[in-house]
């Protein structure tokens, strides 16, 4: 007599190696057994949804397990990309060496020298006249408005590295004694 219905335990015992095979075929390092667990769930779903008139059970199991593992890999890669982007933005916003930690947020070193400097329109006019357009954008958006470098890059439709370069050029000029005299900035 041929058995027509198998329990999931029997199916698992017969097909557990399929999960390991698919993990190896996809070159997945499964240290925490996350992908194996995902493969078990895929095997369970395939067992529940299998229709004998659609094709062989083994093919359906392989197809379901493989695609579930690929989906899991994509989710993991997307999560890692988002995490990496966040870390890059965090480093550029908080670790570029030109910020002072104050309870009200990030203030650049230039701001801490006095509110009169921020309010001095003559100073800003002199500074704008002696900087390139992009350097002035960096001063205006980053120092005066307090925008992040990433936001400036998006607004100006350029790369983050370009915006960082503008800031680097401005800081270099501001360290130059002759330039400070030219813009009438006395420290």
Query: Which pLDDT tens digit goes with each residue over 15-34?
Result: 889 888 989 999 988 888 88
User: What is the 8-class DSSP label of residue 52?
Assistant: G
Domains within the chain, CATH numbers bracketed:
8-91 (no CATH), 99-182 (1.10.10)
pLDDT for 71 equals 93
Question: Using CA atoms, how far apart are residues 18 and 39, in angstroms rounded to an integer?
Answer: 9
Q: Which two tokens stand for residue 75?
A: 């989710």
- Environment class of 138 (CB within 10 Å of its CB; exposed 0-12, middle 13-18, buried 19+): buried
Per-residue pLDDT of the chain (187 residues; tens, 9 = 90+): 344 577 877 878 888 898 889 899 999 888 888 899 999 999 888 888 888 888 888 888 889 999 999 999 999 899 888 888 877 777 776 665 555 444 444 444 444 444 444 555 677 777 788 888 888 888 888 887 788 888 888 888 889 899 999 989 888 888 888 877 777 766 5
- Find all residues with CB under 8 Å of 136, minimum gap 6, and list them: 127, 128
């Amino acid at each position: 007599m041929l058995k027509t219905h198998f329990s999931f335990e029997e199916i698992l015992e017969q097909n557990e190696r399929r999960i390991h095979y698919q993990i190896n075929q996809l070159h997945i390092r499964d240290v925490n057994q996350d992908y194996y667990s995902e493969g078990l769930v895929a095997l369970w779903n395939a067992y529940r949804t299998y229709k004998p008139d659609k094709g062989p059970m083994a093919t359906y199991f392989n197809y379901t397990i493989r695609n579930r593992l690929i989906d899991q890999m994509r989710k993991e890669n997307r999560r890692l990309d988002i995490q990496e982007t966040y870390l890059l933005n965090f480093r550029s916003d908080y670790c570029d060496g030109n910020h002072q930690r104050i309870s009200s947020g990030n203030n650049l070193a230039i701001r801490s020298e006095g509110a009169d400097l921020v309010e001095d329109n003559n100073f800003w006019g002199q500074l704008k006249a002696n900087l390139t357009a992009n350097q002035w954008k960096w001063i205006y958006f980053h120092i005066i408005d307090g925008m992040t470098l990433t936001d400036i890059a998006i607004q100006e439709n350029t790369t983050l590295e370009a915006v960082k370069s503008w800031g680097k050029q401005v800081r270099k000029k501001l360290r130059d004694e002759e330039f400070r005299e030219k813009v009438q900035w006395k420290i």
